[in-house]
A = this chain, B = another copy of it.
Amino acid sequence: MAMDLDKFDRRILAVIQKDARRPAELIGTEIGLSASAVQRRIARMRDEAVITAEVAVVDPISVGRPLTMIVDVEVERERPELLASLKQWIAAEPVIQEAWYVTGAGDYVLIVVARDVDDFDALMQRMMGENANVRRFQTRVALSTLKRGVLVPMDQPAS
């Protein structure tokens, strides 16, 4: 749910969602607050789940996953019980980085990071084999990644 965050909160978020290790004192001088005030606000936003997590961003290429695929999956909407198990299958599959259920003809959009084409094909085979309601899928290969991340813009009205 939408939280009411003031100008300071938003400026703190704008900073730490790019660099979570930035010392609170630095942030404080940047935005005109003391270090302790900054930390208290961060702690509060963690409690409120405005800050969901603090994570290390790993370069997929460095760990041998140079391929990113965007997969449009079309499912039969007739059998809702199969939809639930497909959701679980997606959730359990670590190679699938992101997944949305979108408007359209029963479509999922998946972001998949793969070692190579064979690796990817094997995943899709498994998906088809283990989920009877998947009618078809269409794959696009990311030729270049312009942007990747979870940055949320912070240009909200101040309060």
Within 8 A of B (CB), among A60-76: 60-66, 68, 70
Shortest distance in angstroms between A5's beta carbon and chain B's nearest beta carbon? 7
Within 8 A of B (CB), among A141-159: 141-156
Chain B residues near A2 (CB, 8 Å)?
61-64, 66
A100 to B140, CA, bound (A): 10
20 A–B contacts, CB within 8 A, in A order: A2-B61, A13-B56, A16-B55, A50-B59, A50-B63, A54-B55, A54-B56, A54-B57, A55-B57, A57-B150, A58-B152, A68-B100, A87-B146, A97-B149, A99-B147, A100-B142, A101-B144, A107-B140, A108-B146, A113-B152
Residues 5-59 of A contacting B (Cβ, < 8 Å): 5, 10, 13, 16-21, 48-59
Residue tally, chain A, CB below 8 Å to B: 69
Closest Cβ–Cβ distance, residue A143 to chain B (whole Å) = 5
Contact A62 B97 (CB under 8 A): no
Answer whether residue A134 sits at the interface, using C-beta atoms and an 8 A cutoff.
no
List, in ascending order, chain B residues with CB within 8 A of A52's CB: 57-59
Question: Which residue of the partner chain, among B17, B63, B91, B107, contacts A152 with CB atoms under 8 Å?
Answer: B63
CA–CA, A104 and B69, complex, Å: 12
CA distance A151 to B56 in the complex (A): 9
Q: Does A98 interact with chain B (Cβ within 8 Å)?
A: yes
